Structure 1
Amino acid sequence: SPSPGSRSLTIHDFDIGRPLGKGKFGNVYLARLRDSHFIVALKVLFKSQLEKEGMEHQLRREIEIQSHLQHPNILRLYNYFHDERRVYLILEYAPRGELYKELQKSHTIDEQRTATIMEELAHALAYCHQNKVIHRDIKPENLLLGLRGEVKIADFGWSVHTPSLRRKTMCGTLDYLPPEMIEQRTYSEMVDLWCIGVLCYELLVGNPPFESSSYSETYRRILKV
């Protein structure tokens, strides 16, 4: 496991491999711990970028939440460390990449596989909700695939740990926004269930159910369901 007890890790403990993805605040690389040869995904974030966008609080929250969640369908955050310029998150490596890319390639996903994905997500979200965590941003880009094609929920940047499970912040992706968020009403963990419904539709049909050419029209369609 990439948490070697008392000594804190540095970038020199890793062999860095190919880039796995690019983000606004940095990149993700395939990496291997030199001591144990354990394979991980290393997410490298630039402090200057995080500070410029005022995202330090969100990152702390993401680390705090994800490091406590242990479920086969949730991407593990094993550990983190930082130096003067960067923050490094040591994440589980999901060899089959984003569900989004698979959907782009094949346009739709068959009913059997969609059903399996829904079941895995439902288990993972039930676990999140039992632990008073709402993810708030379930969409194909935030779902990774393990070696056997099993789903791994990633990216807890928008998630909240809320002892009361009631929130009022607007966030998430337009096509996946639930009506109560658009109307800025108080909402609960049920927003995640709306999102997996939208996802189920998108996987089977090839595009999200409320998609349209303008924001206002998408909003209207969502509100009218």
Structure 2
Amino acid sequence: MLAMEKDFDSKLRIQGNNSSNVGGSGGAGSVQRAKSFSFRAPQENFTIQDFELGKIYGVGSYSKVVRAKKKDTGIIYALKIMDKKFITKENKTAYVKLERIVLDQLDHPGIVQLYFTFQDTFSLYMALESCEGGELFDQITRKNRLSEDEARFYAAEVVDALEYIHGMGLIHRDIKPENLLLTAEGHIKIADFGSVKPMQDSQITLLPNAASDDKACTFVGTAAYVPPEVLNSSPATFGIDLWALGCTLYQMLLGTSPFKDASEWLIFQRIIARDIRFPNYLSEEARDLIDRLLDIDPSRRPGAGRDGYSSLKMHPFFKGVDWRNLRKQTPPRPAMEPMVQSGEADDGHDSSWYPSHVGDGLAMQNDGNVGTSSSSEASGHITRLASIDSFDSKWQQFLEPGESVLMISMVKKIQKLSSKKVQLILTNKPKLIYVDPSKLVVKGNIIWSDNSNDLSIQVASPSHFKICTPKKVLSFEDAKQRAWQWKKAIESLQNRC
């Protein structure tokens, strides 16, 4: 960890000039590396106490993004908080370094900006641009699906940003509606470069040991947006992002991902079989563009061939788009977040979000309970239902690669003559288990079902709830009165897109 801290503290200049040309195929040449580096976004000496922390924007396997207001300036950031212990244990150090270095060197209006970083004993922090318009995913969910005019606007801004990213010799590898954020004005910004891969002719200058996997077939990204060549262990190309763009455009227009199914295995089977179904209401232009972006051959996808992005931008679906003045156009009118009843969610400005392992010297006792819930719970966006303890690395041992905690609480499992404390954990797999918090062993696995007849939750009071399956009924008591939140989390996951 000391080596990582020294690398992040480094403020020396890059040795040598950047002389690489932009390449479209990731061919000959080598990734530029420097023994020293001058960060544009500085490493500051801030502490977590310098910020008022609010709602949780999103949760990953080793990080959490939180709305954070700097107390002395009042400026709002999206603060990415990364668990050092988990990063080291899971050998993610190179990925974290790479994300920081890449974000520092990217400069485009369609990409989130990194302002500064800081760290303490337990965590690394990245202060990112806060996109107050939320995720594109939210707009799709609230509107059920977007009109072709709305989808055209957003897709064009994604194309514009991807052209820049690919021109820099980078593959994003996790393009999806959740990683496409909206500014307060409604323009798209691509976020989350945790899976980024530099190609051989990348213009990004890297530090030693700050590179993504060198194995072309490494699986990263999100199952529903992964192209068939990744599943077949073929070399990584820019076509990965173009396939994901096709999936995202499909989701904008239909309200669901093109290869949605009950499990990752079934999703992968549909991807390999290219099992795509188009409704009759899609225009011929929209259908043709999606069809071409989801070509089995990555080199034939618009944007990946000899003509580069001109073939993509000239597609009939984008007729009338003013590519030179995209950011001056008026964005679609957003659908606002539904109003919530008092007591079911907070106002998104809670400043008490301080897990015990964040910050040096915060005297908060970790009792294993859920932390602040955000108003997004009422909108059914399950990826934001994760609690503070989902960030605690000791629970990661119960997760598979790519799996993340959506909700977690220390509860009492009530039996006829006794009760026992257990850690109840809900994940995005989906998986619902309860763990002995002292012995750290799984005591029960509640069989998941999207069918409410096979899995349901009954709330008796704010503290008491029952999880019902055909074979048994489990009773729990949550001292922090989050019974309704558990019901909402489970039902939201059952009703996910």
**Is TM-score (shorter-chain normalized) higher than 0.5?**
yes
Aligned-residue CA RMSD in angstroms?
Answer: 2.4
Letter in 2 for 1:218: I
Q: Which runs of 5+ in 2 are unaligned?
A: 1-38, 203-213, 275-497
Q: Cα 1:32–1:51, aligned 2, differ >3 Å: closer, same or farther? A: same
Instruction: Specify the alignment match of 2:125 in structure 1.
Output: 88
Q: Cα 1:181–1:37, aligned 2, differ >3 Å: closer, same or farther? A: same
Percentage of pairs with the same residue: 31
SS in 2 for 1:64: helix
Distance 1:67 1:44 in 2: 17
- 1:52-90 Cα offsets, whole Å, 9 max, x none, are 332222111111111211111111112211111110101
- Confirm or deny that 1:30 pairs with 2:30: no
1:6 Cα deviation from its structure 2 partner: 7.7
Letter in 2 for 1:170: F
Q: Cα 1:26–1:219, aligned 2, differ >3 Å: closer, same or farther? A: closer
Letter in 2 for 1:55: K
1:14 Cα deviation from its structure 2 partner: 3.2
1:47 Cα deviation from its structure 2 partner: 1.0
- Confirm or deny that 1:172 pairs with 2:208: no
Letter in 1 for 2:146: I
Q: Cα 1:119–1:162, aligned 2, differ >3 Å: closer, same or farther? A: same
- 1:144-185 Cα offsets, whole Å, 9 max, x none, are 110111111110011112224793322111111111111111
Instruction: Specify the alignment match of 1:146 in structure 2.
Output: 183
Instruction: Specify the alignment match of 2:253 in structure 1.
Output: 204
1:190 Cα deviation from its structure 2 partner: 1.3
Deviates most, 36-45 or 26-35? 26-35
Tell me which of 52, 66, 85 is aligned to 1:16.
Answer: 52
- 1:117-149 Cα offsets, whole Å, 9 max, x none, are 110000100000110010011011111110111
Instruction: Specify the alignment match of 2:110 in structure 1.
Output: 73
Instruction: Specify the alignment match of 1:64 in structure 2.
Output: 101
Distance 2:228 2:175 in 1: 15
User: Larger Cα Rg: Structure 1 or Structure 2?
Assistant: 2
Distance 2:101 2:120 in 1: 19
Distance 1:195 1:63 in 2: 23
Instruction: Specify the alignment match of 2:87 in structure 1.
Output: 50
Please tell me whether the aligned partners of residues 118 and 200 of structure 1 are also in contact (alpha carbons under 8 angstroms).
yes
Please tell me whether the aligned partners of residues 175 and 241 of structure 2 are also in contact (alpha carbons under 8 angstroms).
yes
Deviates most, 215-224 or 80-89? 215-224
Please tell me whether the aligned partners of residues 57 and 67 of structure 2 are also in contact (alpha carbons under 8 angstroms).
no
Distance 1:5 1:114 in 2: 33
Instruction: Specify the alignment match of 2:268 in structure 1.
Output: 219
1:220 Cα deviation from its structure 2 partner: 2.6
SS in 1 for 2:54: strand
- Please give the TM-score of this superposition, normalised by the length of structure 2: 0.42
Q: Larger relative contact order (C-alpha < 8 A, sep ≥ 6)?
A: 1
Distance 1:211 1:6 in 2: 42
Letter in 1 for 2:47: I
Please tell me whether the aligned partners of residues 144 and 153 of structure 1 are also in contact (alpha carbons under 8 angstroms).
yes
Distance 1:70 1:171 in 2: 24
SS in 2 for 1:114: helix
Q: Cα 1:69–1:5, aligned 2, differ >3 Å: closer, same or farther? A: closer
- 1:204-224 Cα offsets, whole Å, 9 max, x none, are 001111222243432232123
Letter in 2 for 1:108: R
Instruction: Specify the alignment match of 2:154 in structure 1.
Output: 117
Please tell me whether the aligned partners of residues 77 and 130 of structure 2 are also in contact (alpha carbons under 8 angstroms).
yes
Please tell me whether the aligned partners of residues 136 and 180 of structure 2 are also in contact (alpha carbons under 8 angstroms).
yes
Distance 1:40 1:219 in 2: 36
Instruction: Specify the alignment match of 2:241 in structure 1.
Output: 192
Q: Which runs of 5+ in 1 are unaligned?
A: none
Distance 1:151 1:4 in 2: 23
- Please give the TM-score of this superposition, normalised by the length of structure 1: 0.89
SS in 1 for 2:233: coil
Please tell me whether the aligned partners of residues 45 and 118 of structure 2 are also in contact (alpha carbons under 8 angstroms).
yes
1:95 Cα deviation from its structure 2 partner: 0.3
Tell me which of 76, 80, 89 is aligned to 1:39.
Answer: 76
Please tell me whether the aligned partners of residues 43 and 117 of structure 2 are also in contact (alpha carbons under 8 angstroms).
no
SS in 1 for 2:262: coil
Q: Cα 1:6–1:155, aligned 2, differ >3 Å: closer, same or farther? A: closer
1:37 Cα deviation from its structure 2 partner: 3.5
Deviates most, 116-125 or 203-212? 203-212
